[in-house]
Chains A and B, each alone.
Chain A
Amino acid sequence: MAATPFGAAGGAARKRAARRVLPGFNLTLGFTLLYLSLIVLIPLSALVLKTFTLTWAQFWAAVASPRVVAAYQLTFGASLIAALVNVVAGLLVAWVLVRYSFPGKKIIDALVDLPFALPTAVAGIALTALLADNGWVGQLLAPHGIQLAFNRNGVVIALIFIGLPFVVRTVQPVLEDTEKELEEAATCLGASRWQTFRFVIFPSIAPALLTGFAMAFARAIGEYGSVIFIAGNMPMVSEITPLIIIGKLEQYDYAGATAVAVVMLGFSFVLLLVINALQVLQRRRSGGAT
Chain B
Amino acid sequence: MSATRAARQAKAGTTEPAWVKWTLISLALGFIFLFLLLPLAAVFTEALRKGVGAYLEALTEPDAWTAIRLTLITAAIAVPLNLVFGVAAAWAIAKYEFRGKAFLTTLVDLPFSVSPVVAGLVYVLLFGAHGWMGPWLQAHDIKIIFAVPGIVLATIFVTFPFIARELIPLMQAQGTEEEQAAMVLGASGWQTFWHVTLPNIKWGLVYGVILCNARAMGEFGAVSVVSGHIRGQTNTMPLHVEILYNEYQSVAAFAVASLLALLAVATLLIKSVVEWQFEREMHAAAALPPERPTAPVVA
Q: Are B14 and A184 closer than 8 Å at their CB atoms?
A: yes
Which residues of the other chain, B, contact A27 by a CB distance below 8 angstroms? 88
Q: Judge whether B271 and A188 touch: CB under 8 Å.
A: no
A43 interface hit (Cβ, 8 Å): yes
What is the CA–CA distance of A27 and B184 in the complex, to the nearest angstrom? Answer: 21
A261–B176 CB distance below 8 A: no
Inter-subunit contact A44/B122 (CB<8 Å): yes
Whether the pair A116, B115 counts as a contact (CB closer than 8 A) is no
Cα–Cα distance between A106 and B27 once the two chains are bound (Å): 17
- Asked if B140 is at the interface (CB within 8 A of a chain A CB), the reply is no
Q: Digitize B164-176: 1 where CB-to-A-CB distance is under 8 Å, 0 elsewhere.
A: 0000000000001
* Size category, B interface: 35 or more
List residues of chain A with CB within 8 A of the CB of B98: 29
A220 to B294, CA, bound (A): 55
Determine the chain B residues whose CB is within 8 A of the CB of A265 once the complex forms. Answer: 114-115, 118
The docked-state distance in angstroms from the alpha carbon of A187 to that of B7 is: 11
Q: What CA separation (Å) do A116 and B217 show in the bound complex?
A: 12
Known contacts A25-B92, A269-B113; A15 and B97 CB within 8 A of each other: yes
Q: Are B179 and A22 in contact (CB under 8 A)?
A: yes
User: Are B111 and A40 touching (Cβ within 8 A)?
Assistant: yes
Q: In whole Å, how far is B299's beta carbon from the nearest beta carbon of chain A?
A: 27
Our pick among B115, B126, B211, B217 for the contact of A119 (Cβ within 8 Å) is B217
Task: Please indicate the chain B residues that have their CB under 8 angstroms from the CB of A273 in the complex.
Answer: 106
For chain A, the count of residues having a C-beta within 8 Å of the partner chain is: 101
Cβ A22 vs Cβ B183 within 8 A? yes
Is B95 on the interface with A (CB-CB < 8 A)?
A: yes
Q: Is the CB of A114 within 8 A of B104?
A: no
A252 to B121, CA, bound (A): 12
CB contact between B183 and one of A21, A125, A224 (< 8 Å): that residue: A21
Cα–Cα, bound, A92→B36 (Å): 15
- Give B residues with C-beta under 8 Å from A: 9-10, 12-17, 21, 24-25, 27-29, 31-32, 34-40, 42-43, 46, 84-85, 88-89, 91-93, 95-98, 104, 106-118, 121-126, 128, 130-132, 153, 156-157, 160, 176, 179-180, 183-184, 189, 192-193, 211, 214-215, 217-221, 224-225, 237-239, 241-242, 245, 250, 253-254, 257, 260-261, 263-265, 267-269, 271-272
Q: Which residues of A contact B (CB under 8 A)?
A: 12, 15-19, 21-25, 27-29, 31-33, 35-36, 39-44, 46-47, 50, 89, 92-93, 95-97, 99-100, 102, 106, 108-123, 125-127, 129-130, 135-137, 160-161, 164, 180, 183-184, 186-188, 191, 193, 196, 218-219, 221-225, 229, 241-242, 245-246, 249, 252, 254, 257-258, 261, 264-265, 268-269, 271-273, 275-276
